[in-house]
Amino acid sequence: MRIRAQVAMVMNLDKCIGCHTCSVTCKQTWTNREGTEYVWFNNVETKPGIGYPKHYEDQERWKGGWKLDGKGRLVLRSGGRLARLGKIFANPDLPTIDDYYEPATFDKDILVSAPGGLTDTPVKKPYSKLTGEPMSIEWGANWEDSLGGGTMDQDPNLRGLADKVKFEFEKTFMFHLPRICEHCLNPACVSACPSGAMYKREEDGIVLVDQDRCRGWRMCVSACPYKKVYVNHATGKAEKCTFCFPRIEAGQPTICSETCVGRLRYLGILWYDEDAVLAAATVPEEELLDAQRGVFLDPFDPAVQQAAREAGHPEEWIEAAMASPVWKLISEYRIALPLHPEYRTLPMVWYVPPLSPVLDAAGAAGRDDTDADDIFHTIEDLRIPVEYLASLFTAGDTAVAGGVLMKLAAMRAYMRARTLDGTVADELLDGIGMTADQVEAMYRLLAIAKYDERYVIPAAHAKTAAALEDLGGCSLDGEGGPGMGGGPVPVILSTRRP
């Protein structure tokens, strides 16, 4: 067993209101500069929808992620070394700017400098930030916001659900899906990079790009099934979400987590067995979720703690792993799920799926909202089909997706009964296989957890502090980088809020 630490994130989609604050603050921190006008390390999509870039989930088109060959071996969808070498100068599997969107700016001066006495109101015209030419805005990173783009019927996750999903206004369902780089345990981008510029940090699992080694071959863009690697058109080099590692090293949450209005993000440490990653990525599709959970190690196991010490991990990290909200949501309560586990990258950003107002739906259907069977049958009839959630988070396994929704619904029903009249709904607890203490702890974490409970990140060990300081900021701090060559990127400090 080779024990490794991984900084991971869980997002509770029931709390996302689609305000895009996370996207804006990430943009201002990391990609508000020349060459990255179209780049969003963090974006919030409306589901159903085709996403950003367009149709990124269609791996038959983009050939991202991994697959099993005829002999059951794990291979990149983009092909082996010879196949990638054959298209290194002309890669056909790259999204174009139209798949992302052409960023625009506006001639705002016309609004303040227009002469008086005009019969028509002056209008600011859009101009391309890439060419400077007048343009017509036809797409954007959040074009589908709140179903505004009209592309929900093109969502690949809706295949085979035509009979269940009716695209009439009064029956339409939607939810918001924030996305960042998954910082995978088995990252396809790292394996596809010809120059070895993409790498996964040993100390915390964050996937980064060495700007000095990057030669702009763009194979990482094709290989990433989530399309979260971008090319800076000013420098010609690859860039991606850094998991705000300068903040992580200071024991602070990522900027998207810090500024999240809905407080839906959780950050923490997971221990995993590096030797088990390959085996977990090569199991049959229906076993992928359990296999990935099996890679994670119990932070309360004395043998795991001893292995972490022998591997050189400080005590602060061992303690942080035991207090990790990510471990609780993924492995203890088992209500967090990975985005598209069938890509076999073993993503490390997981999601608590959204739950429709199931208790109200149960009452409206004449069912008992404190009865486990009635709640389960109501879940099967919710406006957000379980099949759709399964296609996103469980490789199509509706039993697992339905089980998670059942736990969330039972938690709500149990807490409501306990709060209103002090009763203990034992049949609900028996139905989900959890104790009263576990349900109440899960409720606290999901609903009312404080800052220090949501973000449990150990600061970089004192022995490595000097080495981190000598790095002089991050690898993007050069010409075209966020610091524009002006020295280390400052860690943004903030006042902690409850």
Q: Does residue 227 register a pLDDT over 60?
A: yes
Helix (H, G, I), strand (E, B) or coil at 10: strand
436: closest CA among 424, 422, 448? 424
Mean predicted confidence (pLDDT) in 233-250: 95
Q: Name the pLDDT band for 163 (thresholds 50, 70, 90).
A: low
Q: What percent of the chain has pLDDT over 90?
A: 64
Q: Does residue 486 register a pLDDT over 50?
A: no
DSSP string, 159-180: TT-TTT----GGG---EEEEE-
Question: Is the pLDDT higher at 379 or at 482?
Answer: 379
Lowest mean pLDDT among 271-275, 438-442, 460-464: 460-464
Contact 175, 13 (CB under 8 A): yes
**How much of the chain is helix, strand and coil, in % rounded to 5?**
40, 15, 50
Q: Does residue 430 register a pLDDT over 90?
A: no
Mean predicted confidence (pLDDT) in 437-442: 94
319: closest CA among 463, 465, 450, 457? 457
Contact 173, 383 (CB under 8 A): yes
**So where are the chain's domains?**
17-101+139-257, 285-293+311-454
Residue with tokens 């009964």: 417
pLDDT value, residue 369 = 58
pLDDT value, residue 483 = 44
Q: What angle do CA 181, 260, 221 make, to 5 degrees?
A: 15
**CA-to-CA distance for 118 and 126, rounded, in angstroms?**
21
Residue with tokens 């194979």: 219
Question: Is the pLDDT higher at 189 or at 173?
Answer: 189
- Contacts for 455 with CB less than 8 Å, ≥ 6 apart: 252, 253, 257, 266, 267, 268
Q: How far is CA 296 from CA 5, 241, 368, in A?
A: 10, 23, 38
Q: Name the pLDDT band for 114 (thresholds 50, 70, 90).
A: confident
Q: Does residue 404 register a pLDDT over 70?
A: yes
Contact 151, 172 (CB under 8 A): no
Tokens of 193: 């990079």
Mean pLDDT score of the chain, rounded to an integer?
87
Residue type, 102: E
DSSP string, 225-284: TT--EEEETTTTEEEE--TTHHHHHTT---HHHHT-TT--EEEEEEEEEGGGHHHHHTS-
What is the CATH code of the structural domain delimited by 17-101+139-257?
3.30.70.20
Task: Tell me the pLDDT tens digit for each residue of 52-69.
Answer: 999 999 999 999 999 999
Residue with tokens 């994130």: 9
